Amino acid sequence: MDLEIRNLTHRYDDLDVLRDVTLTIPSGQIVCIVGPSGCGKSTLLRLLGGLEQPTQGEILEVGAPPKGSLNPLTYIFQDFALLPWRTVSGNISLVLEGHQLGKSEIQGRISDVLARTRLSDFAGVYPRQLSGGMKQRVAIARALAVDPAVLLMDEPLSALDSQTRELLMDDLVSLWERERFTACYITHNLNEAVRLGHRVVVLSRRPGEIREIVDIDTPLSERSADSAHLGRIQTQLWEMMREEALTADRQLNDA
């Protein structure tokens, strides 16, 4: 299923947050969105997830979601959002419980997703027993358990140290190689954007407008931390963002 965003504009009272954003998130691709702080990235994701209604414009789901999908548009949060009193299995079960599935289907989906994300050995463990990286792996497994059409990821790695972030990026790449999931991935980190994005969208300072869309052809599995080609793209992206970020830094909410 593709997600088509057409002429999306959003305003909170007098605050213009997003302006005329038109963008496709094609099935099977990771689209990274970068832009200065406060430019409307999280707002865009909330609009995509239907948590808020846009002031203008529309979001179209084109094509069918995956078979068995319980929630076509599923979030992964920066802070993992795991319940401490539930085990890994229990946390995954939580997103399945509201869907009138039988016990055995819930159990089947849990073991399936744990296997897909290589977490089968951790089913009975509590979040406090896990590192930050492992918690985010569980949050990713939980999101996949509903067979989403599009994963909505808001800075999913930003709470992690840089080594763990590297490991999780490798994880996401191999998961994508296996499953070809579709994602809208918000990040501040341009290195993440060039490692994970098939397409990188640069938003301007608020009100966020599309400043540039950069398609990166290098297959995800061939992208390494020290690639000169990716380094050049990252520099280009930074040059685009620098001016926006400098001005945004001086912008007040009520200005």
Ligand X SMILES: Nc1ncnc2c1ncn2[C@@H]1O[C@H](COP(=O)(O)OP(=O)(O)OP(=O)(O)O)[C@@H](O)[C@H]1O
41 binds ligand X (CB under 6 A): yes
Residue nearer to ligand X on the CB measure, 21 or 113: 21
55 binds Mg ion (CB under 5 A): no
Least distance from C-beta 154 to Mg ion, angstroms? 6
- List the single partner that 123 binds among ligand X, Mg ion, none, CB under 5 to 8 Å by kind: none
42 binds ligand X (CB under 6 A): yes
78 binds ligand X (CB under 6 A): no
Contacts (CB under 6 A) with ligand X, residues 177-236? 206
User: Among 1, 3, 8, 17, which residue interacts with ligand X (rule: CB under 6 A)?
Assistant: 17
Token digits of residue 9: 């504009």
User: Among 34, 40, 92, 110, which residue interacts with ligand X (rule: CB under 6 A)?
Assistant: 40
Contacts (CB under 5 A) with Mg ion, residues 24-43? 41-42
**HEC profile for the chain?**
CEEEEEEEEEEECCEEEEEEEEEEECCCCEEEEECCCCCCHHHHHHHHCCCCCCCEEEEEEECCCCCCCCCCEEEECCCCCCCCCCCHHHHHHHCCHHHCCCHHHHHHHHHHHHHHCCCHHHCCCCHHHCCHHHHHHHHHHHHHCCCCCEEEEECCCCCCCHHHHHHHHHHHHHHHHHHCCCEEEECCCHHHHHHHCCEEEEECCCCECEEEEEECCCCHHHCCCCCHHHHHHHHHHHHHHHHHHHHHHCCCCCC
Distance CA 151, CA 156 (A): 11
Least distance from C-beta 241 to ligand X, angstroms? 12
- List the single partner that 190 binds among Mg ion, ligand X, none, CB under 5 to 8 Å by kind: none
Least distance from C-beta 147 to Mg ion, angstroms? 26
User: Among 43, 87, 89, 93, which residue interacts with ligand X (rule: CB under 6 A)?
Assistant: 43
- List the single partner that 125 binds among Mg ion, ligand X, none, CB under 5 to 8 Å by kind: none
The amino acid occupying position 75 is: Y
- The residue count for binding ligand X (CB under 6 A) is 13
Residue nearer to ligand X on the CB measure, 41 or 142: 41
Residues that bind ligand X (CB under 6 A): 12, 15, 17, 35, 37-43, 206, 253
